[in-house]
Amino acid sequence: MGAVLQSNVYSIQAVKIGQSPSWNVSMISPVLRSDVGKEMPLPFPIWVIKSKDETILVDTGIDTSVTDPMPIGKSVYGVVESLAEAGVEASKITKVIVTHMHIDHFTGYTKFPNAIFYIQRTELDHYLGPNNQNKYLTGGLPMRAVQDTIALLRHGRVKVLEGDEELFPGVKVMLAGGHSPGLQMISVETEKGTAVLASDNAYLYHNIRENVPVGWYYHLGQSVEALELCRKTASSPDLIIPGHDYALWGDKRLVDVV
């Protein structure tokens, strides 16, 4: 990372808050599996984006007391502890962009008592709607998380987004859908140019490099378009950051991505 960041230029850190030994254990993919490496570990990330003035979190990780019982084979190191290794105190975080509401991206909301969660209305409508207990449509978000989301809304702790928006100078959300109905990808201005956090519209570098949509999608056409949007937005293909690629971390728990 550079020595002095400006207020609209950010660094991006990838914090691994847990890992499953293989995609085969973790994935219930109803459709294409062309993107799933057979025995590759599946890391669960949180992203920390920092400027001179701001620390913004992307996704919340997993709270196993919300997801209990956890699907077999996932180990979670602890969101608070993992962030502490990145020098971030969870209780001081005030801004969390939620890319989508799958359990590994959202159930850690419990760990951020002072945060506002930035979520797309399309995503909220889906997860609070009539299909919210269908695991193929939601990835199995527990009822407790549904109820807690309603409470967070009532307490003014959710900022409901209506599409693309520059939330902070140099940080823009892009409503993509695809992997889930209201998935938002994020463009971030960095020292190397515009980076894109693709979230789960690209699990792996493979999805980006080979232009293959992920095997778990709500809307295939949007998944395909999301990859196109990544390419159009990022200053270079190297600055498109996939959601769950073990190659990014290897055995490390914390990586300075940009």
Give the interface with Zn ion as residue ranges (CB under 5 A). 102, 200
Contacts of 17 (CB under 8 A, 6+ apart): 44, 45, 46, 61, 62, 76, 77, 78, 79, 82, 83, 108
Minimum CB separation of residue 66 from Zn ion in Å reads: 16
Minimum CB separation of residue 165 from Zn ion in Å reads: 21
Between 102 and 111, whose beta carbon lies closer to Zn ion? 102
CB half-sphere exposure, 225, CA atoms < 13 A = 12
Minimum CB separation of residue 6 from Zn ion in Å reads: 32
**Position with the least CB separation from Zn ion:** 102
Minimum CB separation of residue 100 from Zn ion in Å reads: 6
**Can you give the length of the chain in residues?**
258
Minimum CB separation of residue 169 from Zn ion in Å reads: 28
Minimum CB separation of residue 92 from Zn ion in Å reads: 27
Contacts of 228 (CB under 8 A, 6+ apart): none
Between 9 and 214, whose beta carbon lies closer to Zn ion? 214
Q: Are strands 75-76 and 165-168 parallel, antiparallel or unpaired?
A: unpaired
Between 168 and 203, whose beta carbon lies closer to Zn ion? 203
* Phi-psi group of 61: left, alpha or beta (phi > 0 → left; psi -120 to 50 → alpha; rest → beta): left
Between 112 and 217, whose beta carbon lies closer to Zn ion? 217
Nearest to 86 by CA among 248, 256, 258, 240: 256
Between 112 and 218, whose beta carbon lies closer to Zn ion? 218
Minimum CB separation of residue 233 from Zn ion in Å reads: 20
Dump strand ranges (E) for 51-150: 55-58, 75-76, 95-97, 116-120
Between 16 and 102, whose beta carbon lies closer to Zn ion? 102
Whole-number Å distance between alpha carbons of 33 and 214: 8
Whole-number Å distance between alpha carbons of 232 and 217: 21
What 3-state class would DSSP assign to 140? coil
Contacts of 133 (CB under 8 A, 6+ apart): 143
Between 188 and 214, whose beta carbon lies closer to Zn ion? 214
